[in-house]
A and B are shown apart, each in its own frame.
Chain A
Amino acid sequence: MLKFIVRRLVQLIPILIGLSILVFVWIRALPGGPADALLGERATPAKVAQVRHLYGLDRPLYRQYISYLDRTVHLDFGQSISTQRSVSNEIRRRFPATIELSLAAMVFAVGIGIPLGVLAAKRYLAWFDHVSMAGSLLGISVPVFFLAFLLKYIFAVKLHWLPSIGRLDATRVTSHPTGFYVLDAIVTGDGGAFVDAVRHLILPAVALGTIPLAIVARITRASVLEVLNEDYVRSARAKGMTSRTVDRRHVLRNAMLPVTTIVGLQSGLLLSGAVLTEIVFSWGGMGSFLEQAVFARDFPVLQGGILFLAIVFVVVNLLVDLTYGFLDPRIRVT
């Protein structure tokens, strides 16, 4: 197992280096280069030269890359053009909100998607299978921001069951030791804040989790169907095992392997979907940060934000891979 972990970590290095080069080249591919981007509309030739010198853009490219790498390793993503604030600090402040939302969406997606997929496979080609697969296809076809819109309109604007924007009622005064509001409420023992935070979380999490739910259900179904046809399942049945035991020991164990990978890959969909969902629900995470950056053409923010989320995505998938290796010994040797 240790060898497997080490090998996976080593495989990560070229990906991270490649990613850093990609993002490094990205900002330099701008028309007028990064100096123009930094100055925006205030760019004059004299100012551009000044900025180029200040940021070392007049030095050779490899030197620039090395210092960029050095700063990135220390999680220094530079400053926002529009607010002059440190991008890293802003990410640190906002990222817990995005993680909280993504985790809640994932719990929703996996908690419902896996049982749904298993049941659909067990009822292969019966009405339940048809209905749930048609439903999941519809689920994949709805843009996340439109679903967010609908949920907000129905449950917040019309029915007033749940709050429509933000992470807590604006009037509530609480402390935030972790930045995860649900966790904060538990840590500080504030029952009211807990209920409030959870109520704010429900609609955005359902909106964001629906597409992953549909995908998880479909993959689970395909994977269970695949395993049900395996010889070892037939043998287990032939031995006279009860179908419940066969399901638990043979079918589910093997069928969950591809589902694990899919759940990891979904984290990318969650992170990018979160950006759109957060905008609809005015959720103070990475979404509005990136939206403002797109609007203001604030390239350091876009660069830092996208690089950071990509690293998170890569690390989550590494963890999923390791889990997979842990669950399935065959993977470790190949």
Chain B
Amino acid sequence: MASDVSAETPYDIVIGLEVHVQLLTKTKLFCGCSTAFGAPPNTQTCPVCLGLPGALPVMNREAFELALRTAAALNCRLAPFTKWDRKQYYYPDLPKGYQISQYDLPFSSEGYLTIFDPKGRFEPRPIRIQRVHLEEDAGKSMHDEQAGRADSRIDLNRAGTPLLEIVSYPDLRSPAEAKAYLTELKLLLTYLGVSDCNMQEGSLRVDANVNLHVRTPDGVVPTPIVEVKNMNSFRAVERGIAYEAERQYRVFQETGKRLGDVPKQTRGWDETAGVTKAQREKEESSDYRYFPDPDLVPVTVSEEKMRQVRDQLGELPAALRERLQTQYGITLYDSDVLVNQGRAVVDYYIDVANRCGDGKLAANWMQQDVMRTLNERGITIGEFPISSARLAEMLSLIRGGDLPGNRGREVFERLLTTDESAAEAVAALGITKVDQSELEELCRQLIAENPKVVADVKAGKLKAAGAFIGAAKKKNPNVDPVQVKDLCLEIIAADNG
């Protein structure tokens, strides 16, 4: 490698994401078939989604409503007039020979989604969204191409499922930013209740358009844009883009090819090999011959409807994080962890924080003990055995000094398995408050009984004082170890004086 290459890469990565999200409707976009995942192949079909001769599509209002909600939450402009277009291409999983989609008049456009890094590695900033449109999903082809014998089977259960395509501007500058965008988008969609965003089941799919702006002595040179597909997790998106950026830089150094020199390429991410591979070029350059679908009528959306959609969005993740920070005094990181758990956990947290009056303490207990228990038991907050009131009572006892912090976990464990109130659990565990005189007496006793430790401390080995803690706990389990240690050191120092 040339010696003048600095540690910083000599290029910017430019990334735009196209995200396809299946909407959580009961029925398909243009017929009454179920959208449930996992049914036996071709059992959730009818003449409409099979594309049988003479069958006609009828728009699913529910799907359009969910689409409007999503676009509004993405700060998009909602179009007063939108229409359906046919995107035409031949593929066996596309039974009509065209996909009903939206071309030049999508129902929404020009929005943004603000991304941030909870660890603060980049500044929060809005990523512009070019358009959001609604379309029908295709079916699934299952290939069995052994020994050149292409035996393909087609499952059309998915054909016609409502799909939202969310297209960002190329505003993302790193794989981490791309991941942050997807994480925030998924969180938003989950809060809106419009999609389950399950990448394994294909309800969220991501394609990335990637190229580099290479800084050369002759100025900034853009490399050809590559569309990366087949990334089946957010981690894969991050890795795929990172790999693709390195690959493009390598190719640029070898060939010098810049944007416009070669047609746009599509590459597939190979998760196991950790590389992107060129995909077979389509037979013809993609001229989809879009035109308005004459079987469907255009949709108009009134000003009132738009207002209503915006008014009913509810509190979205970004606003919620903001409120948790200002109202409960917790950090961005903590608010992010809580909000990522979903609205129910946040509501639980808010109730605990309000009741005990200490947002930080509540946040610590949520993130450590509550979330750990949820994960270990694989349960939701709704199934969590400790009500917010009981947890708040426990935290109040800690705040009031009636429950030493170090014994909180014992109480927590007991609350998990009993119906007791926090106070009852404290009593049952025999936890009582140790007053100052009691503590002093205990410390003097310890000093008297441990001349070797006292000698060590006096010789400057302050660490030796740790031995007092174990000894103190044996005498009285309710003492605060830190207090014991500090008080012992104080007494020894005074004796010295």
> Are A and B part of the same complex?
no
Give A contacts to B, CB under 8 Å: none
Give B contacts to A, CB under 8 Å: none
